Amino acid sequence: MPLAITGDPLDDGGRGLVLVDAVTDEWGVIKRWDGGGKTVWFECLAPPELGGSRFRTARPEPRP
């Protein structure tokens, strides 16, 4: 399973989940049932002043 880790500044890759973690309210990983990969999901909550809620009511199911 992928992890959000900070690597060496000269690495070619490995920053994706660090960025996702920095700009989202919540994220996670779900393994595919057939073992053929994974789904990374994330949530960006709207602030209350824009009609959103800071309280999550349900986590959406990932698409297959």
Contact, 53 vs 45, CB < 8 A?
yes
pTM confidence score: 0.56
DSSP per residue, 28-46:
EEEE-TTSS-EEEEEE-PP
Q: Where are the domains of the chain?
A: 25-64
Lowest mean pLDDT among 15-19, 31-35, 41-45, 48-52: 48-52
**pLDDT above 80 for 44:** yes
Residue 40: predicted pLDDT: 87
Residue 11: predicted pLDDT: 74
Q: Which residues pair with 30 in a beta bridge?
A: 39
Residue 23: predicted pLDDT: 86
